[in-house]
Structure 1
Amino acid sequence: MKTPKHPDLGATLEQSRSGLRDNHRRSLARLLFLFAASALAVFAVLQWFNGYAWIFASELSASVLLFLGAMRLDATPYLQRWIYTFLILLFAFFLAIMLLPDASVAAFVWVLMMPVLAYLLLGRREGMILSVPFMLAGGVVYYLYLGGVQSASGMIDLLNLTLCGILMQIFMHMYELRREEAEQKLVELARTDTLTGLANRSAFQSTLARTIAEGERSGTGFALVVMDIDHFKAVNDTFGHNAGDIVLRHIGRCLAERLRTTDYVGRLGGEEFGLILRDAKPAAAYELMDELRQRIARQQLTCGGANISVTASFGIAQWPEHGREAETLFSVADGCLYSSKRAGRNRIAPAALAPRAGQTDTVAGGAA
């Protein structure tokens, strides 16, 4: 079984701070950097003619830094820090231009851009934390700009900006909340086997890759088990595919109910299942699978008035003893599974582990 060459969708989205993946966030941040740099260059020239030399120097310096930053965005490992710094400085700049003595009333429209940029680049939680204080500050600055609300027209102006800002904040928050919920459902569908409710092949491979990476860091071993239902084709041929589906769902429940909370199980395809037994020594992994094998063998299912009994065969590989790569572990576990099939099925074959005295259902890896 080959590991996927594309990044796992679920893991990628879990690591992302917003609905955008990091490469998309970099592209959007680069666009914002370039736009802000160009706008600041234009405003710097205008401020020079307005007689604000210090603002001209500040805006021109910021423009140069943003142009340089846009060229470095693809390479920086500190994307989140860059985004935070950019947004904080940008929002502070919005407030600064509103505080200028000759500020235009049009400058206050930038307040409404704060939640849009914050939620888009930072996600729901962090976007709210950053945007709300700046929007409140913008409202206070606008109140000061109006010089009070003694007249009805002043109150109308203040309410227009306030209500629009509140609605923008609520809409962005609700949109991000609903988007996250829909995205999570799509991720679950993409990672779940619809028949058994277990993880599908892609999700299992991704979890195995992460488990190996965790093992490399901590030095903690684990067991990879490949399990196959014996004579499953005969079940479909004799009782129909509906009975086969019932058997698969039953096996899925058995695996999910019996395994520890630290273990992981998935359907690899057809009648084959995979199990990751974290921090399980060879003897413990064997005993757990033998108990599961016996449980499957002694249970009967009823379908259309017929009683159906199935058994399962297992192959076990141990990390790192039998390989440090996912493909190597699968190859060893598959070899053990085929050994247990050839030896009569309803057996467990741990790799490179001799049978114990008095046990007839254990096969050494590679045995005929």
Structure 2
Amino acid sequence: MPKQLEASEQHRRAVLKALLCITVFGGLLFGIVNIFRELYVLSALELGYAAFSAYLLRFIGTTERLRFWTVIFLLPFFGLMIFAVLLPRTSFTVFAWVQTIPIICYLLLGLRTGLLMSAAFVAMGLLAFNYRYMTDASLFNIIIVANVGLSSMAIMLFSHVYERSRVDNERRLLELASKDVLTGLANRMKLAEVFERERSHALRDNKPLALVVLDLDHFKRINDQFGHEGGDQVLRHVADLLPTRLRETDLFCRLGGEEFALLLPGADLGRAAELANALREQLCATPLQLDNGLVTLSFSAGVAALGEDGSSLDALMRTADRRLYEAKGGGRNQVVAEEQDCSVVR
């Protein structure tokens, strides 16, 4: 599971734990109070739900079926609220619990499910309140029902707007966090996320997966001659040029500095080396015009494949890095796909 999804799930676990604790305390408190008020059915339901909440607290922090148990908890929980509103001897203040439904739904279930569930139960709560307290058509009662209805709709609307904004902001932050600011390419974090997904697909479908790590040759010399602005233009040039030869399923990313990586689903070691060589030749044949002159570029690269060179991203990175340094040591401007086996073009 991607780290951002794990963080979101942990947030919902924490919210659900807090709600369960409140339910245990509130269920015991109101259950005991309602015994003295002789509301025995409501008291039994409240005490029973306090016990159920205490039971859920034992494993809700570790269960893999968090959404399932959340729905199992919320449906009767909200139903109990509606039932309490309908009982003839309860106070109208119990409707305050109904107005917490949108907030709880959006926090625990997200935007779409939160909207559907909160709309359904708030509507039932308003009908129950109207049935219970709208005894006549007096202006005073109409005003009460209108205030209750509008305040409930406002809470639901504000909860929806807030959750929508939170989701959009989270998505934008994740996009920023997974992109290299200078080139607009994916970064190392995005590579790790996509690798896990493609690794699962490769193992399930018995298909190859390859990683290429490449490093621009003599980049320090370019920085010294053309300045850091010139170096930045070179990096952007590489980022714009090389992806034009790639498939949509391939991932080209910047690891940092002048180092890039290429993840190739469906490509074995030989196919990945051929593609890396084609990209190297394309870069050599496409010099960059800077203010101070024409810059001819090249890179050295190392290739590793899932399975024969390791089963994790770290293992493939280590192998590809080792072969990259072999390419550098062998004269640069070449691709190494196997130990001591260089394809050299000068």
TM-score normalised by length of structure 1: 0.88
The aligned residue for residue 158 of structure 2 is 171
Deviation at 1:45, TM superposition (A): 1.8
Select the residue among 229, 236, 240 that pairs with 2:216: 229
**In the TM superposition, what whole-angstrom CA distance separates every residue of 1:40-73 from its partner, at most 9, and x where no partner exists?**
1122222222223333322222222211221222
Q: Does 1:277 align with 2:249?
A: no
Cα 1:37–1:272 change in 2 (3 A) is: same
Select the residue among 206, 210, 215 that pairs with 1:219: 206
Cα 1:239–1:255 change in 2 (3 A) is: same
Q: Is the 1:262–1:277 contact (alpha carbons within 8 Å) kept by the matching residues of 2?
A: yes
- After superposition, where does 1:45-56 map in structure 2 within 5 Å? 45-56=32-43
Deviation at 1:85, TM superposition (A): 1.5
Select the residue among 301, 309, 321 that pairs with 2:288: 301
Give me the whole-angstrom Cα distance separating, in 2, the residues matched to 1:174 and 1:28.
Answer: 19
The aligned residue for residue 74 of structure 1 is 61
Greater Cα offset, 196-205 or 165-174: 196-205
Deviation at 1:172, TM superposition (A): 0.7
Question: For 1:154, what is the secondary structure of its paired residue?
Answer: helix
- After superposition, where does 1:1-368 map in structure 2 within 5 Å? 11-13=2-4, 15=5, 21-147=8-134, 150-352=137-339, 360-361=344-345
Identity %: 33
Deviation at 1:305, TM superposition (A): 4.4
Q: Is the 1:348–1:361 contact (alpha carbons within 8 Å) kept by the matching residues of 2?
A: no
Q: Is the 1:224–1:317 contact (alpha carbons within 8 Å) kept by the matching residues of 2?
A: yes
Give me the whole-angstrom Cα distance separating, in 2, the residues matched to 1:183 and 1:38.
Answer: 33
Question: For 1:244, what is the secondary structure of its paired residue?
Answer: helix
Greater Cα offset, 338-347 or 131-140: 338-347
Unaligned runs of 5+ in 1: 1-7, 363-368
Q: Is the 1:332–1:351 contact (alpha carbons within 8 Å) kept by the matching residues of 2?
A: no
Q: Structure 2: which amino acid aligns with 1:247? A: V
Cα 1:194–1:114 change in 2 (3 A) is: same
Give me the whole-angstrom Cα distance separating, in 2, the residues matched to 1:290 and 1:105.
Answer: 75
**In the TM superposition, what whole-angstrom CA distance separates every residue of 1:153-204 from its partner, at most 9, and x where no partner exists?**
1111111011111111111111111111111121122221101111122322
Question: For 1:240, what is the secondary structure of its paired residue?
Answer: helix
Q: Is the 1:296–1:311 contact (alpha carbons within 8 Å) kept by the matching residues of 2?
A: yes
Greater Cα offset, 55-64 or 29-38: 55-64
Give me the whole-angstrom Cα distance separating, in 1, the residues matched to 2:134 and 2:142.
Answer: 11
Greater Cα offset, 269-278 or 256-265: 256-265
Aligned Cα root-mean-square deviation (Å): 2.0
Q: Is the 1:333–1:351 contact (alpha carbons within 8 Å) kept by the matching residues of 2?
A: no
Greater Cα offset, 326-335 or 200-209: 200-209
Q: Is the 2:333–2:344 contact (alpha carbons within 8 Å) kept by the matching residues of 1?
A: no
Q: Structure 2: which amino acid aligns with 1:106? A: T
Give me the whole-angstrom Cα distance separating, in 2, the residues matched to 1:155 and 1:54.
Answer: 31
Q: Which has the higher contact order (CA 8 A, sep 6+)?
A: 1
Give me the whole-angstrom Cα distance separating, in 2, the residues matched to 1:306 and 1:293.
Answer: 21
Q: Is the 2:302–2:320 contact (alpha carbons within 8 Å) kept by the matching residues of 1?
A: yes
Give me the whole-angstrom Cα distance separating, in 2, the residues matched to 1:235 and 1:265.
Answer: 22
Deviation at 1:149, TM superposition (A): 5.6
Deviation at 1:337, TM superposition (A): 1.3
Give me the whole-angstrom Cα distance separating, in 2, the residues matched to 1:53 and 1:158.
Answer: 28
Give me the whole-angstrom Cα distance separating, in 2, the residues matched to 1:182 and 1:55.
Answer: 42
Deviation at 1:220, TM superposition (A): 2.1
Greater Cα offset, 63-72 or 83-92: 63-72
Give me the whole-angstrom Cα distance separating, in 2, the residues matched to 1:340 and 1:265.
Answer: 20
Unaligned runs of 5+ in 2: none
Give me the whole-angstrom Cα distance separating, in 1, the residues matched to 2:205 and 2:176.
Answer: 31
Give me the whole-angstrom Cα distance separating, in 2, the residues matched to 1:190 and 1:354.
Answer: 37
Question: For 2:58, what is the secondary structure of its paired residue?
Answer: helix
Q: Is the 1:222–1:319 contact (alpha carbons within 8 Å) kept by the matching residues of 2?
A: yes
Question: For 2:183, what is the secondary structure of its paired residue?
Answer: coil
Give me the whole-angstrom Cα distance separating, in 2, the residues matched to 1:330 and 1:76.
Answer: 33
